[in-house]
Amino acid sequence: MDATLANTRLEQVKDHLRVETDPQKRTEFEQEQAALAADLTRRGMMQSSLQGQVEALRQQIAIEQSNLADTERKLDQLDR
Q: Which residues contact 40 (CB under 8 A, 6 or more apart)?
A: 3, 6, 7, 10
> In the chain, where are the structural domains located?
3-79
According to the model, what pLDDT value does residue 1 have? 72
CA distance between the termini of the chain: 61
Q: Structure pTM?
A: 0.67
Tell me the pLDDT band of 67, cut-offs 50, 70 and 90. very high
- Residue-wise pLDDT for 1-47, tens only, equals 788 999 999 999 999 999 999 999 999 999 999 999 999 999 999 99
